[in-house]
Amino acid sequence: MNTGTGFVEVTHLWAVHNPGKVIFPQGAIGQLYGGMTQGLGYALMERVDYDNGFIQATNFDEYLIPTALDVPEIVGAFVEKPFKDGPFGAKNIGEPGMIPTAPAILNAISHATGRRIRNLPANLERVLLGHDLLKEGSSMACKLGLKDKR
């Protein structure tokens, strides 16, 4: 993390999960990696703004999600313990791969800056300044944000 600019780069992701009995290893690891990638996007990129209950980003040119170039090296593993109530002893793995990723990234940011980020995504402004420069509904967002700091 660059504490001068607020830029955060995740260089590695590690995870170990208990999916019960792994039935299809390639599919399970794909679900784990996909969930971790979604968690990365949730933590650092994906922003949803609303105006009177309507989502404002209507295209993926405004709503950012991770691409292959954004995803760091991922190392995933499983600790298998068959789940007696699951089919063939299996449990799910897609969502459990996503859920702890954003908090882990935010904890790393907190360690680097000494500040907690309470709203996602942890974009440059939130990391560096502790707040957004964007004032909802204002076309003067950058000027207003800079005016507060002068």
**3-state SS assignment for residue 126:** helix
Tokens describing residue 124: 């440059």
> How many alpha carbons fall within 13 Å on the CB side of residue 72?
15
Residue with tokens 């980003």, as numbered in its chain: 57
Give the angle subtended at the CA of 16 by the CAs of 22 and 112, to the nearest 5°: 155
The answer to whether the beta carbons of residues 127 and 9 sit under 8 Å apart is no
Strands 54-55 and 50-51: antiparallel
136 classed as catalytic: no
Q: How many residues does the chain have?
A: 150
Annotated catalytic residue, options 62, 73, 80, 95? 95
Residues annotated as catalytic are 95
